[in-house]
A and B are shown apart, each in its own frame.
Chain A
Amino acid sequence: MADIRLPPTLPPLFPGLPRRLELSAATVGEMLDALEAQWPGFRDRLCEPGPKLRTHIHVYVDGERADLDSAIGAGSRVDVITAISGG
């Protein structure tokens, strides 16, 4: 099971979504599929058409910058970061 850590801006949008959770997924894209299945609309908040990650959403797998195709290991830590903008 991977250790998934989400930014504080997401849980208020999806009732029951925790900041930190564990799930099994082979890639970042599959991780989003699993979260979309449980919280419909989740993918739209992180991805744009392509599909690709939104410009100011950064995902790291075990500390390395990742994209949708990046692999997630059984014990990986995945950090989803809201980056740069805000103001």
Chain B
Amino acid sequence: MASALINVPERARRGEIIEIKTLVSHPMETGYRRSQLGTPIPRDIIRQFVCSYNGVEVFRAELHPAIAANPFIAFSTVATESGTIAFQWTGDNGFAVMESASIAVD
């Protein structure tokens, strides 16, 4: 159902600033819209995004309904060591998606 796209460079030099781009599939229903029958559509959004580099949190975002559907988040981090960069999205109705990418730092 839910799927995430992430863009992390495979290799980087130690100390290099790398750009990370993430995209996750989610409607981000605001809770302010009404269906064709006039009943309000309940809110269903991703509330938090966390990025950890080898288990250490390096970036976090708190999202609100004003983030467009299929949230796109781009940020940067310093390539410190080889390992895994993990991404986690959590939200309403128990939404949780994990994704990870490995990076080789030399």
Q: Do A and B come from one complex?
A: no
Which A residues contact B (CB, under 8 angstroms)?
A: none
